[in-house]
Structure 1
Amino acid sequence: MNELSPANRILLIFNSATGQPGRLGTVLRKYGYEFDIRRPGEGDTLPEDLTGYHLVVVFGGPMSANDDDLGNVRAIMDFLPRVVASDALYLGICLGAQLMARHLGAEVQAHPDGLTEIGYYPVQATEAGRDLFPDEMMVYHWHSEGFGLPEGAELIATGATFPHQAYHIDERIWGIQFHPEVDDETHERWLSNSAAKTDRPNGQGPDLQRAGRAKYDAAFGEWFERFAARVLARDRAPVDFGCCD
């Protein structure tokens, strides 16, 4: 595998007009990274050259990874070969993980019984993931489809409803089915915009989700801080921004 780029820029690709970096942005800003935000569904182009990027993050969205008629899905699927051929790290979150899995030859499909994960559900570390995940952790989900495991990928977290919850390839390409970026503001925005969708099979309603957030989010956030330091920032030291009077 090639040496990873020491660049300070992170490419953030959103699949909606309103998506924000949330907790991911808050954490990675501590390491001095600069963000380049692109929204291909709103007409933004994606870079031809990734030499100047340390990390590419593709976030989730309400569409399916199989929706080739949508401009953002087509644009990202056309872009992913450049990511794989580059030296940049990749993190796919929910749809972003599914799109990469699909690009690498795996299927993305609904649960055979029509179940979803919308709210807080447990994931468990696999044997290969014990250095990155606790034995069990409650994480935030919002999805109705899951990804198969691409060839060459190592499964590092699993779950009861969707068994493929997190994978990596050569510790450079990472995919997670859940949403560590969701902070308080993002959560309330999602509930405000899409509360009606929470009544899908196995979904959790807004009140249950808020209760789950109060109970589980602090530990989930602490986990993401550790994951980001080790996997995304590669043990880079946080930047001392000083303070102002």
Structure 2
Amino acid sequence: MHPPASAPKTKDRGKIAIVVHQEHSRPGRVGALLERRGYELHRLCPNLGCELPEDVSDYAGVVIFGGPMSANDCNMDGIRRELEWIPKVADQGVPFLGLCLGAQLLARAAGGKVGPHPEGMVEIGYSRIEPTDAGRAVFDGPMHVYQWHREGIDLPETSELLASSEHYAVQAFRQGERAWGFQFHPEVTLEMKEIWTVKAAERLKMAGAHQRGVHLSMHSLFDPPLGRWIDGFLDGWLASKVTPAS
């Protein structure tokens, strides 16, 4: 992203709400980059009973991460509460970022749909995304990104498509001025890849999934540009918060 203004890398910048879906979930590189800028991470896991704050105006941003459940799992109290909560974040002028499941929840909360690929394809491993004309303000060009999902997004008319891949049309989108959804995982580190490809090895048997060795061997090629990109994106994202008039 080409930010309208840079958020300086300094100390005591405020707090970011990070929403995760499992006890062992980690915010990875995105969390580390936010902490490096001086933000305090406020971890929330509604699936484990955490309350989601009604007033988020004192947060510098909200990030919802991925998880193995579906955005359609409204029988899960945590998922249902997130879907109800997401519009409140935007209404209060707070930057929102949804990653994988978080992006799918953003789309559903805005009136979109989430479901499996019509041919049963998944994206697990690296895939190439292509920016749309609108997305060229966010992505300099095509980029390989890390994926781990088996459902995709059908955007509502109010969303702006920013990038697509060969098998999934929606890879990045914007909802309004401050809410962004990325189907891929810019937060995943090499250590996280090593863990995921062992603990969820059964997913690597699905149509379209890459084998473990491909995940790990491609990291050194594709991760550095992805890391530089998300680092730059976060500056503009953080700068988009609406500051109430004094």
Both proteins in one fold, TM over 0.5: yes
1:182 aligns with 2:188: yes
The corresponding residue for 2:126 is 120
Kindly tell me: are residues 184 and 123 of structure 1, through their superposed partners in 2, closer, same or farther at Cα, counting changes over 3 Å?
same
Deviation of 1:233 after TM superposition, in Å, equals: 4.7
1:102 aligns with 2:120: no
Task: Give matches, 1:1-245, under 5 Å.
Answer: 8-233=14-239
Deviation of 1:15 after TM superposition, in Å, equals: 1.0
Between the aligned residues of both structures, percent identity stands at 39
User: What do the CA deviations read for 1:30-59 (whole angstroms, capped 9, x no partner)?
Assistant: 221111101111111111111111111110
1:130 aligned counterpart, secondary structure = helix
The corresponding residue for 1:3 is none
Unpaired stretches in structure 2, ≥5 consecutive residues: 1-12, 242-246
Kindly tell me: are residues 181 and 233 of structure 1, through their superposed partners in 2, closer, same or farther at Cα, counting changes over 3 Å?
farther
Counterparts of 2:90 and 2:148, CA distance in 1: 26
1:37 aligned counterpart, secondary structure = strand
2:26 aligned counterpart, secondary structure = coil
Structure with more contact order per residue of length (Cα contacts < 8 Å, sep ≥ 6): 2
8 Å contact from structure 1 (residues 104, 151) kept in 2: no
8 Å contact from structure 1 (residues 28, 233) kept in 2: no
Deviation of 1:214 after TM superposition, in Å, equals: 2.2
The corresponding residue for 1:239 is none
- Write the letter of the residue equivalent to 1:153: S
Counterparts of 2:82 and 2:240, CA distance in 1: 25
- Write the letter of the residue equivalent to 1:196: E
- Write the letter of the residue equivalent to 2:234: A
Aligned Cα root-mean-square deviation (Å):
1.5
- Write the letter of the residue equivalent to 1:9: K
1:74 aligned counterpart, secondary structure = helix
- Write the letter of the residue equivalent to 1:163: A
Counterparts of 1:136 and 1:129, CA distance in 2: 10
Unpaired stretches in structure 1, ≥5 consecutive residues: 1-6, 236-245
Counterparts of 1:234 and 1:83, CA distance in 2: 13
Counterparts of 2:171 and 2:67, CA distance in 1: 17
1:53 aligned counterpart, secondary structure = coil
8 Å contact from structure 2 (residues 95, 240) kept in 1: no
| Moved beyond 4 Å, runs of 4+ | none
- Write the letter of the residue equivalent to 1:37: R
